[in-house]
Chain A
Amino acid sequence: ETGVTQTPRHLVMGMTNKKSLKCEQHLGHNAMYWYKQSAKKPLELMFVYSLEERVENNSVPSRFSPECPNSSHLFLHLHTLQPEDSALYLCASSLQDSPLHFGNGTRLTVT
């Protein structure tokens, strides 16, 4: 148990589908993050939320839409994805100036 829970663990979706990834933390952290992990590439930071406000968006395509309704929950809404979006999507949380705690990720396959 990492303290950061991601659901679902696996997701297969077609290019025309709409789905959402969910992340939940009960560590009392005030910052949450989405990272993308693709094969043979470094982890890519997608979004950062601090105190529920988005503070970073690393040029992520608009087909990925994050939502942070409160400091414990983070969503990644997906629509009209491409096969190259298939990857492991990792959620993480932290307190300011403290290391990240990662969830176990959602393995996404776009068909």
Chain B
Amino acid sequence: GNSVTQMEGPVTLSEEAFLTINCTYTATGYPSLFWYVQYPGEGLQLLLKATKADDKGSNKGFEATYRKETTSFHLEKGSVQVSDSAVYFCALSDAGGTSYGKLTFGQGTILTVHP
């Protein structure tokens, strides 16, 4: 079956530091890949996505590239802010699925950014 593995947190950084959160996946076929973010007390929000190999998703300064050869989708940001403190989830959808709703999630990585 499908699975997603994220680096274990929590991750603690100072403001303006570089961020990498690793994500690798196991899936058959060609899944779509996502990063969702969950701010305290809220539900998940889509941060970025990539639907095919070598695609780069980007939003709010965050980027992730779909690497089929390494089955990875690592999240990066060049300079984090305190407001980026949240839980980040990597996820994939079934290849050829008719709905992105059938997502397989990683366990989440807590990011805390200090001033």
Give CA–CA (A93, B6) in the complex, Å: 25
Give CA–CA (A99, B100) in the complex, Å: 5
CB distance from B97 to the nearest CB of A (A): 8
Q: Mark B77-115, 1 if CB is under 8 A from A, else 0.
A: 000000000000100000000111111111110000000
Q: Assess whether A75 is interfacial by the CB under 8 Å rule.
A: no
Give CA–CA (A101, B4) in the complex, Å: 20
Contact A94 B99 (CB under 8 A): yes
**In the complex, what residue of chain A is closest to B5 when comparing beta carbons?**
A42
Comparing B15-23, B42-50, B61-69, the segment that makes contact with chain A is: B42-50
Q: Assess whether A21 is interfacial by the CB under 8 Å rule.
A: no
Q: Of the candidates B36, B98, B107, which one forms a contact with A41 in the assembled complex, judged by CB atoms under 8 Å apart?
A: B107
A residues apposed to B, CB below 8 Å: 2, 4, 6, 31, 33, 40-43, 45, 48, 50, 56, 90, 92, 94, 96-105
